[in-house]
């Protein structure tokens, strides 16, 4: 007897019914990726439950490791970047936001850029002219904006003042939105993806996947904002759309970054996922938009 599902037609003959096949390959070792994802999820939930006292250190470690990955890959490609110096500046930016909020973050970013511009002038000493000054300074500023600046907004989410609501609720709102967007985009992209968004940048990024991210992200945003934060449903729509658009742009930016450097993954720190930055590429810019929308949510 066949194990395939079948239906009996009116003429007495059977017809095999087959489940729809995915149009694209998953591109991951799903068992390993799932195990890693569950472990990361448990760590994030624990830090979210503890609030800023645990959330800030977790974000700081993630930002530091992501900067190490990116700066190491840049060095291998011939870009001269002061890795340790930039990581220290990135940490200063993030931790300045804890007591001083956005003002502290922006001030630390401005001083970090100034320090880098001055440092690059004399990286060969006072007697020799700097090499590739504009190129390497611009790349260093790009890294400072891409990782610690955006990442600091993820940390700041824990400090959103929600009229008595704890920062843990806002962290959870952010993470649920990120997970929903990722799952929706991944599922729709694998099952139905056939129209690339930007084939010259990321051939695997499809409009179908983007639509899946929007559907899942907006639905989750409405549910979380309505039932967890007790705010109007339309703020959930705004949150979901802003998060998905920024996360998608972040994915495309990292795709182009890796394409120019000729690499597939930033590192192999996360089994089944690649590097830390391969998981944070969409999360970091999404954090900035989420902080802005959640600040509006808190104000209302």
Q: How confident is the model at residue 110, as a pLDDT?
A: 97
pLDDT reading at 275 higher than 70: yes
Task: Encode the chain in three state secondary structure.
Answer: CCCCCEEECCCCCEEECCCCCCCCCCCCCHHHHHHHHHHHHHHHHHHHHHCHHHHHHHHHHHHHHHHHHHHHHHHHCCCCCCHHHHHHHHHHHHHHHHHHHHHHHHHHHHHHHHHHHHHHHCCCCCCCCCCCHHHHHHHHHHHHHHHHHHHHHHHHHHHCCECCECHHHHHHHHHHHHHHHHHHHHHHHHHHCCCEEECCCEEEEEHHHHHHHHHHHHHHHHHHHHHCCCCCHHHHHHHHHHHHHHHHHHHHHHHHHHHHHCCCCCCCCECCCECHHHHHCCHHHHHHHHHHHHHHHHHC
Note the pLDDT tens digit of each residue in 139-172.
999 999 999 999 999 999 999 877 767 788 999 9
Note the pLDDT tens digit of each residue in 104-118.
999 999 999 999 999
Residue 236 burial (CB count, 10 A): 27
Give the residue from 147, 130, 119, 136 showing the smallest Cα distance to 79. 136
Phi, psi of 223 (to 5 degrees): -65, -45
- pTM of the full structure: 0.84
Residue recorded with tokens 């190491």: 72
pLDDT reading at 26 higher than 70: no
Burial 183-199 (b: 16+ CB within 10 A, else e): ebbbbbbbebbeebbee
Q: How long, in residues, is the chain? A: 300
Q: Span 184-194, mean pLDDT?
A: 86
Q: How confident is the model at residue 4, as a pLDDT?
A: 46
Q: How confident is the model at residue 161, as a pLDDT?
A: 79
Under the banding of pLDDT at 50, 70 and 90, the label for residue 99 is very high
The percent of residues in the chain predicted with pLDDT above 90, rounded, is 57
Q: Span 266-274, mean pLDDT?
A: 79
Q: Span 279-288, mean pLDDT?
A: 92
Note the pLDDT tens digit of each residue in 120-136.
888 777 778 888 999 99
Longest dimension (CA), the chain: 93
CA distance 91 to 96: 8
Q: Please name every residue paired with 256 in a beta bridge, in sequence order, or none if there are none.
A: none
pLDDT reading at 6 higher than 60: no
Under the banding of pLDDT at 50, 70 and 90, the label for residue 47 is confident
Q: Which two tokens stand for residue 68?
A: 């190490």
Q: How confident is the model at residue 69, as a pLDDT?
A: 95
Q: How confident is the model at residue 12, as a pLDDT?
A: 57
266, 276 Cβ separation under 8 angstroms: yes
Under the banding of pLDDT at 50, 70 and 90, the label for residue 2 is very low
More confident: 31 or 278: 278
Residue recorded with tokens 């934060």: 229
More confident: 187 or 23: 187
Residues 6+ apart with CB under 8 A from 290: 153, 157, 173, 174, 177, 239, 242, 243
Note the pLDDT tens digit of each residue in 233-264.
999 999 999 999 999 999 999 999 999 999 98
């Amino acid at each position: 007897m066949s194990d395939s599902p079948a239906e009996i037609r009116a003429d007495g003959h059977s017809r095999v019914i087959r489940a729809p096949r995915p149009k694209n390959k998953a591109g991951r070792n799903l068992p390993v990726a799932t195990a890693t994802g569950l472990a990361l999820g448990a760590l994030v939930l624990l830090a979210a439950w503890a609030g800023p006292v645990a959330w800030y250190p977790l974000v700081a470690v993630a930002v530091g490791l992501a900067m190490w990955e990116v700066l190491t890959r840049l060095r291998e490609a011939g870009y001269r970047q002061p890795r340790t110096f930039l990581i220290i500046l990135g940490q200063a930016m993030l931790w300045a936001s804890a007591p001083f909020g956005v003002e502290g973050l922006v001030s630390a970013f401005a001083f970090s850029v100034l320090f880098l511009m001055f440092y690059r002038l004399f990286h060969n000493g006072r007697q020799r002219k700097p090499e590739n000054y504009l190129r390497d300074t611009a790349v260093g500023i790009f890294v400072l904006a891409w990782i610690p600046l955006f990442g600091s907004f993820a940390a700041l989410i824990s400090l959103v003042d929600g009229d008595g609501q704890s920062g843990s609720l806002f962290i959870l709102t952010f993470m649920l939105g990120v997970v929903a967007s990722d799952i929706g985009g991944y599922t729709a992209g694998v099952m139905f993806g056939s129209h690339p968004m930007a084939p010259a940048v990321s051939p695997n990024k499809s409009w179908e996947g983007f639509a899946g991210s929007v559907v899942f992200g907006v639905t989750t945003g409405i549910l979380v904002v309505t039932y967890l934060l007790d705010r109007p449903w339309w703020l959930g729509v705004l949150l979901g759309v802003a998060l998905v658009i920024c996360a998608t742009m972040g994915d495309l930016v990292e795709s182009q970054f890796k394409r120019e450097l000729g690499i597939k993954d930033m590192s192999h720190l996360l089994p089944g996922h690649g590097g830390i930055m391969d998981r944070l590429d969409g999360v970091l810019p999404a954090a900035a938009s989420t902080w802005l929308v959640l600040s509006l949510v808190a104000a209302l």
